[in-house]
Amino acid sequence: MSVDEKFDAACELLYRLDPTKVKSHLQSLIALEPEIAEGLLSTIDVPLTVKKDSDSNNKEFLCCDYNRDIDSHRSPWSNTYFPELSAKDLEESPFPSEPLRALELACNNSFELYRDLYYEGGITSTYLWDVDESTDFAGIILFKKAESEDAKWDSIHVISATNDEDGNQVTYNVTTTVILHLENLSKEQQLSLSGNLTRETSKTVKLRNVSTVEQLVHAHSSNLGSMVEDIESKLRSMLEVVYFEKTLDIYNVLRESNDASTKLQKEQHSELIENFQKL
Amino acid sequence: MSDFEKIVRDIVFDSPVEEISLVYDNLQVLSDGESKQQIVSIIQDFNEKYRVPVTSGKDRYIVSEYNKSGSKYYDPLNKVIFSVDHITREVSDLKDYTDADSTDEQLKLADQLSTYVSKFFPDTAAYNVFKIPDSDKLTVVIVSNKKSLGDFWTGYWLSEYIYDVKEGTITGDISVDAHYFEDGNVRFKSSAALKPTNTDSPVVDIKQFEKQFENNLIEKFQYMNATQFKGLRRRLPVTRAKINWGQGIGNYRLGRDAAQDA
């Protein structure tokens, strides 16, 4: 079997196995076939981890494979790696170019506002990187809200921005995954709803009045902001339907009650799902 | 246990019960087809532990450690013995089996169970009552499995009870597992344990416990939706309007503060 076939088989498995154990299964599969490690680590989304930026009043930032170098992660606030990297390691560590760092700061600022309005708490971090010495760029926009172990939300937007040849318009591609974990573990009955949904979106936008760097930064950060807002709203609705309607529908076919009120409830669920599918 | 065996065991025992043949295919690819027997034997353990229904035409039988006879399984109620393909879960070599003597208590319980299962579970559900060797105990198993891979879901219900005929007590567990995988991977699990209870009518207690399980489940769903889920991310900001990104967030922040003051 080729490495590609093994990579595909491992991905299929990770989309089947219990999503709460994705980290340990990822490690197991890498142990079985070390050659697929790099591909799996950049393909499979795992819950985000949190570090503190001691150069910015210990402000928290989010960590994933995209802002990692060796065992350190770059903070979007101070643009510094934590734990600190040696001068020699830093020579090869990735940093955004100066104009892109300006956009990165602007995005982090605007998504702080967004986070405040929609999450009323939580953490956000945006990381950008240059693509092939062009004005194109790619990046990742992250949100995490975890009030307790019982209810956790991670949203991960992998983005790319590609300019057309004359620079009049830009196409944004966004692949979003939301990892949502809910559980209710009382003594008499345990219940968990856990997993992730992914959605891909693409949008081409005309660039107007972008003669200065400042204007361009504003254009990109507001375009990305409005896309992320739309996508998260749609995904939130999808999650609500899948977590609370689809799963209960499956339960209802496993145990078909002859009770009339349960049957009525079931019909209402399928109506909701039909409405959702029309979206 | 080798590292390989431990990894395969973890993966198999974490799989949705109704997706085992797909998991088997993936494991075959990952092990270059070199550990087929080892993987099948782990899947056999898994099938027995989850009391999976195996099919012969329309008939369904359960496999477990209680009704094993060498490499075969027998059904004490229908008095047949058969071989099982653990990947396809199909029965072969089905024969009459007169060695399986069943007690009156076992038959009576099976009879009541049959009425209950036909009323509260779909036609495809399977059940059985097994004797636990060298004891006065009977094991009651109810399994219900459904799937529609084309619609991206599979589901599994297993409830199992131990009825001590001499003591007149019953204990048991219910576990439900649903997997939905269109555009993602979402797993719903719920379980509950029945504490040892005195009983003179086990099926009545089973019915009551399973009804309570379902009521709790619906209640918990409502709480998780209304409280836990809603507390993570709002549908819209407090202002009830989407953000006006075009104006720039500096202006927006002022607008929001003004709205809050109003």
In a domain, A206, yes or no: yes
Residues A115 and A226 in one domain: yes
Question: B215 touching A, CB under 8 A?
Answer: no
Domain that holds residue A15: 1-44
Interface subset of B 158-187, CB within 8 angstroms of A: 176, 178-187
The domain that holds A230 is classified in CATH as: 3.90.1150.210
Q: Which residues contact A166 (CB under 8 A, 6 or more apart)?
A: none
Q: Would A197 be classed as within a structural domain?
A: yes
Q: Tell me the chain A residues in contact with residue B225 when contact means C-beta distances shorter than 8 Å.
A: 240, 243-244
State whether residue B10 sits within 8 Å of chain A by CB: yes
Tens of pLDDT along chain A (279 residues) come to: 899 999 999 999 999 999 999 999 999 999 999 999 999 998 999 999 999 999 999 999 999 999 999 999 999 999 999 999 999 999 999 999 999 999 999 999 999 999 999 999 999 999 999 998 788 999 999 999 998 899 999 999 999 999 998 878 999 999 999 999 999 998 899 999 999 999 999 999 998 888 888 999 999 999 999 999 999 999 999 999 999 999 999 999 999 865 555 555 656 666 665 665 555
Which chain B residues are within 8 Å of A12, Cβ to Cβ?
22, 26
> Judged by CB atoms within 8 Å, which residues 48-67 of A form the interface with B?
none
Structural domain includes residue A51: no
CATH number of the domain at B53-101, out of 3.30.1140.60, 3.40.47.10, 3.30.1130.10, 1.20.120.530? Answer: 3.30.1140.60
| One domain, residues A201 and A266 | no
Same-domain pairing of A187 and A217 = yes
Q: Which CATH architecture has domain B102-232?
A: Alpha-Beta Complex (3.90)
A10 part of a folded domain: yes
Chain A: give the shortest CA distance to residue B81, in Å. 27
Check: CB of residue A210 under 8 Å from CB of residue A184: no
Q: Let me know whether A102 and A232 are in one domain.
A: yes
On whether residue A69 sits in a domain, the answer given is: no
pTM of the predicted model as reported, rounded to 2 decimal places: 0.92
Residue A106 · residue A219 · CB < 8 Å: no
Asked if A185 has any chain B CB less than 8 Å from its own CB, the reply is no
Taking one residue from A and the other from B, the number of pairs with CB-CB distance under 8 angstroms is 230
- Kindly state whether residues A114 and A223 are assigned to the same domain: yes
The total number of structural domains in chain A stands at 3
Domain limits, chain B = 1-49, 53-101, 102-232
B53-103 per-position pLDDT tens digit: 999 999 999 999 999 999 999 999 999 999 999 999 999 999 999 877 788
Q: Are residues A219 and A274 in the same domain?
A: no
A16 in any annotated domain: yes
- Would you say B144 and B125 are in contact if contact means Cβ atoms under 8 Å apart? yes
**A202 within domain boundaries:** yes
Q: Is residue A127 part of a domain?
A: yes
